[in-house]
């Protein structure tokens, strides 16, 4: 009987720790019943994303073993300072570190450290709000770079994106969100607190740390497509296997399996006409809002892999799943990590935590979604004005060279302008693309092509 209870406890603990993996595995198996396994399954798997993700996780595990992040936090926090400044440092640590080591690793590293530090300072009441803000900070900071979180890495690889364009798209959200976090930290009291961290303030094994730093640079270069990812994978595995094989145990293989299951599920779902048409319709309506809403239910990583097959609007998808990491606790698995750490603290107020977590996340979703739609309106206005200017220039060009327009007697002076105007309206969303008049002969097609590129404008 005791053995049965122990087995149930272990299974329950496994399901609790790996809820996304279990869910994705169930979905993958269910989809196999609809679309039987075949050689097409091999094409579902994005091997590049899996390889690069493995390399980053292995390198970060090596850095943790060198006590890099604990030493950094210890040096920043030791001494006397106001509770407001202490909270700001604790929140900004995962904000900036998540840009490089992913939001999951940032929270695994700094949330337990925060609970320990605030307990030592006698500020146990501040643990709840600081952990909530750290969760927001990690999800927010990880948005900036392609390797900040798994969904970013997947979308960057899936659409073969330019890294500069990727960063410029997300920078406004990270900057504005960072300022909001700083403003929230100002709400903490100004009383002085003392943190005594006399030990564990030094990095261990500097030689290994230097190797991990070099491997990290190689990982970044593979994301930028400067170095083949296959070469980086081989070098990373070989270097770690030779120097310290135990580091490979720190890799989150559950996340890799989750991705494989999601690739199988989304690949099979894409074969179903009814589902494909429904998702394509939702994504054509509003990719950002669809991605955000889907993330609240199935988490943002599954949402990214599921929806990427039904849209070419990577901007809307990327912003949607990144903002979608805020909201419900399951919207981002990083949020579940913080929740688990806090639940194990002595005297944890779970109702208070969930209430504050929900309020702060809703605030962040509303503000960042508002930023998206404001930027979208400005972009569409700029597209429209640019299109009108191009329309004027091309119209003047036609007036100066009427030969082409007189090749067909039915072609009037007003038709090219109407075509171009329709194209402008289509590119800005004011006229659906299917309502744009189609040119009827070669001369009109040539003139229509002047304005047609504007219909490819994206947000």
CB 355 within 8 A of CB 127: no
Residue 266 is encoded by which pair of tokens? 């989304």
- Alpha-carbon gap, residue 368 to 295, rounded angstroms: 15
What count of Cα atoms within 13 Å lies in the side-chain half-sphere of residue 382?
9
Is pLDDT at 78 greater than 90 in this prediction? no
Q: pLDDT confidence of 3, banded at 50, 70, 90?
A: low
Q: Which residue has the higher pLDDT, 442 or 217?
A: 217
pLDDT of residue 394: 64
Task: Show the CA angle centred on residue 139, arms to residues 283 and 160, nearest 5°.
Answer: 50
pLDDT of residue 213: 94
Average pLDDT over residues 106-119: 89
**pLDDT (tens digit per residue) in 16-63:** 667 778 888 898 999 898 888 888 888 888 899 899 989 999 998 999
Cα-Cα-Cα-Cα dihedral of 235, 237, 242, 247, to 10°?
130
The DSSP-derived string for 13-35 is HHHHHTHHHHHHHHHHHHHHHHS
pLDDT of residue 128: 95
pTM of the model: 0.75
Q: Which residue has the higher pLDDT, 436 or 102?
A: 102
What 3-state DSSP class applies to 79?
Answer: strand
- Alpha-carbon gap, residue 153 to 146, rounded angstroms: 5
Residue 81 is encoded by which pair of tokens? 């300072």
Crossing angle of the two packed helices 333-343 and 103-120, in degrees rounded to 10: 20
- Alpha-carbon gap, residue 367 to 389, rounded angstroms: 33
What mean pLDDT is reported for the chain? 82
**pLDDT (tens digit per residue) in 394-422:** 656 555 454 444 444 443 334 444 444 44
Compute CA distances 117 → 87, 197, 352, whole Å: 11, 8, 21
Segment among 49-53, 255-259, 292-296, 408-412 with least mean pLDDT: 408-412
CB 372 within 8 A of CB 452: no
**pLDDT (tens digit per residue) in 366-375:** 999 999 999 9
Average pLDDT over residues 363-392: 82
Is pLDDT at 218 greater than 80 in this prediction? yes
Is pLDDT at 67 greater than 70 in this prediction? yes
């Amino acid at each position: 009987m005791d053995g049965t209870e122990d087995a149930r406890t272990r299974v329950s603990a496994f399901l609790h720790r790996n809820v996304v993996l279990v869910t994705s595995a169930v979905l993958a198996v269910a989809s196999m019943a609809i679309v039987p396994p075949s050689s097409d399954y091999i094409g579902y798997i994005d091997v590049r994303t899996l390889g690069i993700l493995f390399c980053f996780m292995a390198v970060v595990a090596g850095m943790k073993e060198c006590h890099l992040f604990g030493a950094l936090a210890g040096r920043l926090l030791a001494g006397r300072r106001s509770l407001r400044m202490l909270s700001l440092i604790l929140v900004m640590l995962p904000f900036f570190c998540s840009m490089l080591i992913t939001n999951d690793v940032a929270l695994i590293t700094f949330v337990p450290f925060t609970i320990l530090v605030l307990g030592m300072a006698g500020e146990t009441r501040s643990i709840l709000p600081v952990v909530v803000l750290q969760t927001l900070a990690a999800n927010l900071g990880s948005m900036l770079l392609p390797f900040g979180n798994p969904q970013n890495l997947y979308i960057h690889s899936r659409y073969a994106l330019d890294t500069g364009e990727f960063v410029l798209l997300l920078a406004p959200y990270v900057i504005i969100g960072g300022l909001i976090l700083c403003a929230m930290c100002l709400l903490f009291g100004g009383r002085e607190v003392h943190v005594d961290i006399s030990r564990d303030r030094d990095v261990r094994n500097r030689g290994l740390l230097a190797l991990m730093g070099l491997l990290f640079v190689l990982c970044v270069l593979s994301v930028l497509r400067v170095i083949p990812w296959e070469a980086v994978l081989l070098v990373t595995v070989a270097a770690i296997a030779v120097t310290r094989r135990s580091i490979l145990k720190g890799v989150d293989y559950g996340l890799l399996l989750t991705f494989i299951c999601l690739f199988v599920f989304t690949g099979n779902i894409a074969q179903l006409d009814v589902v494909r048409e429904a998702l394509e319709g939702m994504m054509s309506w509003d990719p950002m809002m669809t991605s955000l809403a889907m993330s609240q239910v199935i988490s943002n990583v599954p949402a990214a892999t599921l929806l990427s097959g039904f849209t070419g609007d990577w901007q809307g998808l990327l912003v949607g799943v990144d903002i979608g990491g805020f909201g419900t606790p399951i919207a981002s698995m990083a949020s579940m990590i913080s929740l688990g750490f806090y639940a194990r603290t002595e005297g944890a107020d779970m109702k208070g935590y969930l209430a504050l977590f929900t309020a702060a996340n809703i605030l962040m979703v509303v503000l960042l979604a508002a930023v998206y739609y404001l930027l979208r309106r400005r972009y569409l206005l700029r597209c429209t004005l640019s299109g009108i200017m191009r329309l004027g220039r091309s119209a003047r060009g036609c007036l100066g060279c009427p030969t082409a327009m007189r090749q067909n007697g039915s072609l009037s002076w007003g038709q090219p302008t109407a075509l171009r105007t329709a194209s402008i309206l289509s590119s800005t969303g004011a006229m659906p693309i299917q309502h744009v008049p189609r040119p009827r002969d070669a001369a009109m097609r040539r003139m229509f092509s002047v304005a047609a590129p504007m219909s490819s404008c994206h947000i």
